[in-house]
Structure 1
């Protein structure tokens, strides 16, 4: 069966539903984007993963394996989600704590929602990718009993916006 962009988008939406509590989202672009946001194109059954940063194009990296492409999407999406989550947790830890511990723990947890093998491969690479981060610290890092981003990043921003809006509406 030939891979199509519609098939890739459906697989991305299935993946996002696992990460965003049933919501289907584009975790990757399907048209050219800048700002270090990856996009996927499909030509003759070959998936092209490309990234552009400040007008400089990186890639494409190609594959004919949908599972491999979904692995790329998962690594990118869970990295962003984990870093965002960790940023919101920083006030809970001493200032000198290595922030990479939390985001790596979160990313392993998010990947585990998608594919145990992806999570274990990612976990095994942490010491090489993040020198000084110990696996026992990553494994012991609490994730507050949940892993999926509840109500997604936009809800957090929406709550912040409502607070600001309500504050602006208050009489002086």
Structure 2
């Protein structure tokens, strides 16, 4: 079976497991939107000759109309503190079981991350404190102050 077919099976399984999420095929990501917030679950594929490993990251995007104020996110394994978490797929059965395992990790680690960092005050506080957690949610240190300023200004968080 082609790697692309295996990827399709994994993504179809995830679509079944995430019925309330909109799937954007061209980006391999699932989205949920509320006013001013977008949650993302992005699926990456690390291709090998005859199989692939799926990886997943989550993100929260803060918006003012169509303008992005800030986006923070992390890979599921990094949220757990163990480095990149890969879900191997080599055949149809592995695609289905890896999809379910990825979904379970998303529920255990990804959703709590999304809920926590959907609070702009939590994001601002984390970025202000700096350190490992700030680098986890936003790895570009040179953007932290701009993210703090944008969120603080828009949501009335005291500087």
TM bucket normalised to smaller:
0.3 to 0.5
Bigger radius of gyration among the two: 1
- TM (norm. structure 2) is 0.35
User: Greater share of helix residues, 1 or 2?
Assistant: 1
User: Greater share of strand residues, 1 or 2?
Assistant: 2
